[in-house]
Amino acid sequence: MAFETTVSAVRAESSQVWNSIELYDLYQSNGGRDISRRTLSYQIVRIYFGSDLLVLSGTGVASLLAFRSKASSLLRLVPSSDENDVEIELEKVAHQIVCDVNESVVDDNNYYARVDMDIALDCVSSTFVIIAIKAFFYKTEPYVTCRSHLKYNCY
């Protein structure tokens, strides 16, 4: 009964953008206790509305539900500048690593039977080493300060 009442309310308010928390609160206020919030959203879409109801979801935030016919007037989707910023910074870091490697001097006249840390580090980008150390010790995504004021110039 609570499920059907919730579906009726969603159908009656087709011009509204619903979030999964509001939907679940409505379901519970109608006496519903059997379904989890995620299952409720999924069943409403799958059983009753199908492709007519869009679900926008993301990690750590409530899902948004909107009718396809009303979505363009209710939602304004814009590209995230964060994604572009990350790509730009990754390009800068990658370029810095290439510059570091190109600047390293390789001694082709000597062959080392044993390699110590100093010899190994001579052949590796210092930028890459910093990123690897941060990633290993902090177990998170490493944040790199890129010397980007000299755009794509090796120094």
Residue range 16-49, pLDDT digits in tens = 999 999 999 999 999 999 999 888 988 888 888 9
Report the pLDDT value the prediction gives residue 136, as an integer from 0 to 100: 66
Report the pLDDT value the prediction gives residue 84, as an integer from 0 to 100: 61
Among candidate residues 22, 40, 74, the one where a domain is terminated: 74
Residue closest to 14 by CA, chosen among 49, 47, 42: 49
Assess if residue 154 is contained within a domain.
Answer: no
Q: Which domain holds residue 26?
A: 2-74
Which residue would you say has higher pLDDT here, 58 or 17? 17
- For the entire predicted model, the pTM comes to 0.48
Indicate if 8 and 67 belong to the same structural domain: yes
Quick: pLDDT tens for 79-127: 655 556 667 777 887 888 888 777 777 777 877 778 787 777 777 777 7
Assess if residue 29 is contained within a domain.
Answer: yes
Indicate if 27 and 66 belong to the same structural domain: yes
Q: How many domains does the chain have?
A: 2
- Mark residue 140 as left, alpha or beta (left: phi above 0; alpha: psi -120 to 50; beta: remaining): beta
> What backbone phi and psi angles, to 5 degrees, belong to 32?
-75, 135
**Contact partners, residue 124, CB within 8 Å, separation at least 6:** 101, 104
